[in-house]
Amino acid sequence: MIVQCYEARSDNACMSTSAELEASLQPKIAATIAQLQAAARDHDRVVYSSSLGAESLVLTDLIWTHAPQIGIFTLDTGRLHEETLSLIERLERRYGQRMQVFYPDPAALQAWVSANGINGFYNGIAERQGCCAVRKIEPFKRAIAGAGAWITGVRREQSSTRALAQPVEIDQANGGIAKISPILDWTHEEVWHYIRSRRLPYNPLHDKGFPSIGCAPCTRAVEPGEDSRAGRWWWENSESKECGLHPRIRAKPAA
């Protein structure tokens, strides 16, 4: 078992495990950078959809450092934690870059809340997916309109449906553009080693038991050992737990 060593410590055992982890991660970092740069070279416009979760910090660091032609955007659903919004500003300050923020269409949001109530997403899967459609899917489609490819931070470890993902897929649901997942094979330990060792800003909710962070009313802390997505839409069964950006039916792998 690899013992994580995030803080600067002087005991040699800890330093060597951290060094071993860094050494084993180096080829994955190089491959991810190569994939990002190839995407920027091979497509007219490439965008990265940042969820502001742990994986996003890795990709934001690699993109703004090694492939700045890729535009980074995120979605402010109107129901995010304050800690998540603050993270946008902390990232922008660190890199001296601006992250584009997309918001729900005001008229569509007004209509949805009028029909379903302010917290109507708790009433059933259809209502929850309807809220995600207004607050996430429509703004996402606006954000990637005209792009040749979009980058995701999906990892195979995250869920049984994500385990089926391919590094490059054709995203038929979004006009047949390329959907590229460059950190598909990174492990949870590797993601956190990268964040800690480079002292990247991260959402403090991760230290309070939130491995995966979405909207505040739809995210809760999980118990140690629970699935990393167990805190998302916890009142639904695992089969329905996606907002629609990463559908259960996988897109076609690209050649």
| List of residues contacting ligand SF4 (CB under 6 A) | 77, 79, 121, 128, 131-132, 135-136, 214-215, 217-218, 243
Please report how close the Cβ of residue 174 comes to ligand SF4 at its closest, in angstroms.
18
Q: Annotated active-site positions, please?
A: 243
**Cβ closest to ligand SF4, residue 100 vs residue 123:** 123
Q: Is 223 exposed, middle or buried (0-12, 13-18, 19+ CB in 10 A)?
A: exposed
Q: What angle do CA 217, 223, 229 make, to 5 degrees?
A: 55
Nearer to ligand SF4, 135 or 179 (CB): 135
Total residue length of the chain: 255
CA dist 61 and 171 (Å) reads 25
Q: Give me the least distance between CB of 229 and ligand SF4, in Å please.
A: 12
- The least CB distance from residue 77 to ligand SF4, in Å, is 5
3-state SS class at 79: coil
Q: Give the contacts of 133 (CB within 8 A, at least 6 positions apart).
A: 244
Burial group, residue 164, by CB count within 10 angstroms (0-12, 13-18, 19+)? exposed
The beta strand positions in 76-225, using DSSP E, are 100-102, 149-151, 168-171, 177-180
Nearer CB in complex with ligand SF4: 77/174? 77
Residue least distant from ligand SF4 (Cβ): 215
Q: List the one residue out of 72, 139, 183 whose CA is nearest residue 131.
A: 139
- Comparing CB distances to ligand SF4, the nearer of 55 and 61 is 55
Q: Shortest approach of ligand SF4 to residue 169 CB, angstroms?
A: 23
In whole angstroms, how close is the CB of 79 to ligand SF4 at the nearest point?
A: 4
Sheet holding 177-180, edge to edge: 100-102, 71-75, 46-50, 149-151, 177-180, 168-171, 252-253
Of the pair 192, 210, the CB lying nearest ligand SF4 is at 210
